[in-house]
Amino acid sequence: MWAKFGNPDAQGRRPIPTPARALNGGAKVASPLLHECEIETLTTLLEEAILSPESENFYLSSTLVEALYEHFDGCPAEPTAIHSPTGAPEAWTLRLDQHLGVRTFDLTGVTMRVGCTLDHVAQLIHRDPDDLWPLPSKESDVITEWARRCPPLPDALGVRHCDSIVIYTDGSYDGKLSSWAFHAIGSVAGEWHNIGWIGDRVQTDSGEPTFLGASSHGALEGELSALFWCLIWLLASPPEVEVTIFSDCTTAIGLSEGSVGQFRGKDAAHLCRAAMHALQAAKSPSRINVRHIRAHVGHLGNEVADRLAKKCCDPRTTGKVWASHPICSFVRRGWLPWLWLFLDSQRSPQNWPGQLADSFIDRGDGGGVLPTRSECEQMLGLQAPPEKDSGKQWAVIQIVLVTVNVQSLHPREAEPTAEPPAVPFQGRAALLREQFVELGVGVAALQETRASRNETIQSKTHIRFCSACDAQGSYGVELWFSRTEPFIKHNKTDVLFQLGDFVAVHWDPRILAVRFARASVRVLFVAIHAPTNASPERNKWWQDLRVLLGRLRQDAQLVLLGDFNLHLHRSCADRVGDLTWPAPTPPPQAFWNILEDALQWIPSTFSCCHPGPTETWQSPGGTTTSRLDYISLPETWHVAADGSRVLHELEWGQARVDHYALITRAVSHILFHAPKHGRRVRIDTTAIGTPEGREKLRQICSSLPQQPWQLDIHRHAAKVEQHFRCLLPVAFPAQRAIQHKPYLQPATWQLRNQRAWLRKRIQSASRFGRSFSLACSWRAWRGTGTIWAPYSRFWSRWLQCLRDLPGHLAALRSTSVQLRCLIRQDTKDYLHEVAVKATTDSTRDTVQRLRVLTGGPKRKQKGATPLPAIETEQGTLATTHQEAKQKWISHFSSIEDGQVKDPVEFVHDCYRRQQAKDLSDYTVTPADIPSLGELEAALRASSTDRAFGLDGIPGEVLHYGASHLAKAVYQLGQNNVVAPTGAYWFLQCWGNPCTRRFVTVAQHHLPTALFLCK
């Protein structure tokens, strides 16, 4: 305000200090307490805005008031006119308290004060990337060549104009000093330009701003420093830019990505991981790729980074290149581990506590809906999840199938007198394998392979099932399944073929049948090589095939591939299309019956699916062609236009090719869900640790959705549990049978599995046959019909059992002698191998190898140990496990004055007790709870190959998926700590390794929180 007292200046005013204007230090004014004035004699700042329109500040203030006045123009309160004594325009008094409510501050929430605000974060994110130095000229030939390939970025363009950025980092250590450097290139309109480089000596002085925790110089310190400053530089880059970082240090990459390492305090590794967390929160994690590149192998980009790092390894460098960077304040004050939380809470505010100034505040709703009986029992592990949570989701079967007659994939040995050109090509299988991988083939059926015996071959890319040729050395078929191409595409994880998914249920020189079973999917793949039309046994062979397929198919879908040796002369409804082939000998009736029984269709006979040539066979002279090879699919599988064609370019080293491959791309939508095994989840934990398993685990953990912050902690944990319960059994199915004798050959093991499958079918058919009369009687008693009324479902299944049972029994008897012979031969070969190695190895190693034959000690029991015998209240021994269990519970309850309590009452009491706690004065500091990096290190320290709790999450998931799972677990754990209604530790720790691991980390940080939870 301005006060008017006499005429102290030229305009009759003199300044006095007000909340809006400070006292001018150069002006000599008397104390305001010595003067008395009326309020009407004062001029407000708004009035001064009218008197001094040339002032920008006054103009903005006047504009603000006018906007508020126009906004509240319809309100009943009218402004009051005030007449200015100086003759200035009339001023209006606008009372905002009549229109705006009083601002209130809620102090009842739980607060965690970090210290930094969004203003500090904005200095890192909302800024142009720091300028890098131009590459030194005439430094070395490597740098000169790199500068020639990547010219400097034009001055008119900046980093924000780049489509993608590639950065090379490296560190250097000469034995005394260590340094770091990185250089970047950017792609603009398809052309690569050099952005620049930066480097410095590693700072070891803890008093300097650029100190990252390195107590001494070393090679790893240089590599970590290069990655750290590279990640910090990228924080200011546009979020839509693709970033690729190359480093030649696998340890530094693992520490920055969170896949290796332990938490050792606030060192360079911890800061580097915190910088990666912040960058992934600012950008999409899919746009950030950190890759390893081998050093000193001639890669020009890495060699340039190496030269630049060595250039900085000089005592004259100060180690203070980026001392003025805003990140130095974050590192010095300990804010960097929480930077990701500020960024993620701005992107997804519903998933984290509210952010206000420099604190995170949780204002809980004071409770919520109490859990239902089903939820209470699930929390305590008393029952399996309900049927509605079985995890059924739609998935897509997407597969490429190929069938081809290869004519001797396993050639016989050449004669000694043969000329070199006549020696058969020995690499046909490898040549086909490479082409199948390039074409993305998932299933391939090969005919006339002429293998010497039934065998199963597992390579890096394929699983091969081979049936032996006949006594004359002819025929033999194979089925190849890709281990790299997904068979089922799930929205959260892809399903690949694994050896444990298959059972070879039939082998002979012309037929190979393999059953695939994963979760709820059952598919029977059959490769055939049918007799020709001139063969007298053709019709009988097709009739026997129909009976065999009916016996083997059961509840599975049928995929039939191979050399049918048939000419389809007519169309058949939706089974055979318009691409027919006239022939004097029509297909046998059994073939049409197979299509009807299994609901099959042949895509290559439909012109809409198969454009182009259809011939798959050509005579040696090239005068005659025919179509003999087909792929038959279930009617629920679809083939797109141009999805089927003859593959003329397939090559396998054959001197004269008369057969061509047929390729088909099929798609089918299925309802996919994990198998049901009660409460316990069956998972192959050993497969999680493989490179392929870690990639699957990354997809599963990355697809875990974050839950709203206000969601109840137990329901939050239940959703996490359900996510892994649905996907882990699908991605890592447990083996149906464990091979305890590792010396058995794959063919022997497959024959054993075939016999086990036959036993199950025989037992199922026998059990249903024995209960058939009782089932009919029960249905007749409940209904109005007679006992032998034709209930179609029961009668059809009974007739099917009567039809299949003799075939199953015959197959079981015929394979018994064969399995014994194979086991004896494998045992003999293994003993011979042990005997040969015993001549050079120690006695200990020889005994260890022989223990595979003798077995383990007898004291090891199979199965659960039964409870000791106990006498009930009636004076008799408990006859069942349930009676003994109840007696033991009542016994220990009486000792500790316990009682049986209803699960609902027990859980609800816990809820009410926690909701009744007053946490308004409860404050959490960053030192009280573990950071995200600490939690990751704790998850990586989880033990593997151990039993897991009731939630079904094994320790392997926490150990190998720590970097991808940590954020979801951190949200769950922080909700336990911060949320006023969520500190229910004992329920979550009861079989939940995720929260148990959070408690393990936090138990040294949270004495107050643990006390409140008791």
Distance from C-alpha of 639 to C-alpha of 644, rounded to nearest angstrom: 8
Residue 557 has pLDDT above 60, yes or no: yes
Residue 15 has pLDDT above 60, yes or no: no
Asked if 634 and 397 touch (Cβ cutoff 8 Å), the reply is: no
Distance from C-alpha of 581 to C-alpha of 110, rounded to nearest angstrom: 79
Residue 915 sits in the same domain as residue 811 = no
The residues facing 308 across adjacent strands are none
Give the DSSP H or E segment for 818. helix 792-838
Residue 17 sits in the same domain as residue 65 = yes
Asked if 481 and 399 touch (Cβ cutoff 8 Å), the reply is: no
Question: Where residue 153 falls among pLDDT bands split at 50, 70, 90?
Answer: very high
Residue 233 has pLDDT above 80, yes or no: yes
H helices present in 690-791, as ranges: 691-702, 713-731, 746-782
Count: domains in the chain: 5
Q: 821: how many CB neighbours lie within 10 A of its CB? A: 11
In a domain, 276, yes or no: yes
SS3 (DSSP) at 881: helix
User: Which of the 8 DSSP states describes residue 451?
Assistant: B
Using the CB atoms, write b or e for 538-554: b if 16+ within 10 Å. beebbbebbebbbbbbe
Of 273 and 69, the structure prediction assigns the larger pLDDT to: 273
SS3 (DSSP) at 669: strand
Can you tell me the mean pLDDT for 954-980? 80
Residue 207 has pLDDT above 70, yes or no: yes
Mean pLDDT, the chain, integer: 82
Residue 84 sits in the same domain as residue 135 = no
Report which residue type is found at 383: Q
Residue 567 sits in the same domain as residue 661 = yes
Could you tell me the two tokens for 671? 């309802």
Digit-coded pLDDT (tens) for 42-66: 777 667 766 776 677 777 777 777 7
Q: Name the nearest CA neighbour of 696 among 442, 492, 501, 936.
A: 492
Question: What is the predicted pLDDT for the residue at 29?
Answer: 42
Question: What is the predicted pLDDT for the residue at 835?
Answer: 93
In a domain, 688, yes or no: no
Could you tell me the two tokens for 702? 């990355």
Q: Is the dihedral of CA 385, 386, 392, 393 positive or negative?
A: negative
Distance from C-alpha of 461 to C-alpha of 577, rounded to nearest angstrom: 35
Q: Name the nearest CA neighbour of 340 among 980, 1002, 970.
A: 970
Of 6 and 146, the structure prediction assigns the larger pLDDT to: 146
CA distances from 894 to 393, 717, 888, 901 (A): 48, 33, 10, 14
Residue 158 sits in the same domain as residue 286 = yes
Residue 527 sits in the same domain as residue 577 = yes
Residue 134 sits in the same domain as residue 85 = no
Question: Where residue 252 falls among pLDDT bands split at 50, 70, 90?
Answer: very high
Residues 6+ apart with CB under 8 A from 457: 463, 464, 466, 746
Q: 393: how many CB neighbours lie within 10 A of its CB? A: 16
* Residue-range definition of the domain harbouring residue 253: 129-325
Residue 169 sits in the same domain as residue 261 = yes
Distance from C-alpha of 745 to C-alpha of 858, rounded to nearest angstrom: 26
Residue 506 has pLDDT above 50, yes or no: yes
Single out the residue in 831, 849, 867 at which a domain terminates.
849
pTM greater than 0.85: no
Question: What is the predicted pLDDT for the residue at 564?
Answer: 94
In a domain, 929, yes or no: yes
Distance from C-alpha of 548 to C-alpha of 562, rounded to nearest angstrom: 16
In a domain, 333, yes or no: no
In a domain, 738, yes or no: no
Q: 876: how many CB neighbours lie within 10 A of its CB? A: 9
In a domain, 626, yes or no: yes
In a domain, 105, yes or no: no
> What CATH number corresponds to the domain at position 185?
3.30.420.10
Asked if 993 and 953 touch (Cβ cutoff 8 Å), the reply is: yes
Q: What percent of the chain has pLDDT over 70?
A: 81
Question: What is the predicted pLDDT for the residue at 719?
Answer: 87
Distance from C-alpha of 944 to C-alpha of 923, rounded to nearest angstrom: 36
The residues facing 563 across adjacent strands are 529, 629
Distance from C-alpha of 452 to C-alpha of 578, rounded to nearest angstrom: 40
Question: What is the predicted pLDDT for the residue at 657?
Answer: 77
Residue 794 has pLDDT above 60, yes or no: yes
Distance from C-alpha of 9 to C-alpha of 966, rounded to nearest angstrom: 69
DSSP characters over 427-480: -HHHHHHHHHHHHT-SEEEEE---BSS-EEEE-SSEEEEEPBP-TTS---EEEE
Report which residue type is found at 288: I
Residue 173 sits in the same domain as residue 305 = yes
Digit-coded pLDDT (tens) for 584-601: 889 999 999 999 999 999
Could you tell me the two tokens for 910? 């816990």
Residue 911 sits in the same domain as residue 776 = no
Digit-coded pLDDT (tens) for 83-92: 555 555 666 6
Distance from C-alpha of 894 to C-alpha of 897, rounded to nearest angstrom: 5
Q: Name the nearest CA neighbour of 578 among 612, 544, 607, 615.
A: 607
Single out the residue in 672, 705, 737 at which a domain terminates.
672
Of 897 and 319, the structure prediction assigns the larger pLDDT to: 319
DSSP collapsed to 3 states, 289-337: EEEECCCCCCCHHHHHHHHHHHHHCCCCCCCCCCCCCCHHHHHHHCCHH
Could you tell me the two tokens for 123? 């200095």
Digit-coded pLDDT (tens) for 346-368: 999 998 988 888 888 887 665 56
Distance from C-alpha of 37 to C-alpha of 6, rounded to nearest angstrom: 12
Asked if 494 and 466 touch (Cβ cutoff 8 Å), the reply is: no
Residue 601 sits in the same domain as residue 655 = yes
Question: What is the predicted pLDDT for the residue at 391?
Answer: 57
Digit-coded pLDDT (tens) for 439-483: 999 999 999 999 888 999 999 999 999 999 998 888 999 999 999
Residue 442 sits in the same domain as residue 566 = yes
Question: Where residue 308 falls among pLDDT bands split at 50, 70, 90?
Answer: very high
In a domain, 864, yes or no: no
Single out the residue in 98, 115, 137 at which a domain terminates.
98
> What CATH number corresponds to the domain at position 507?
3.60.10.10
* CA-based R_g, the chain, Å: 39
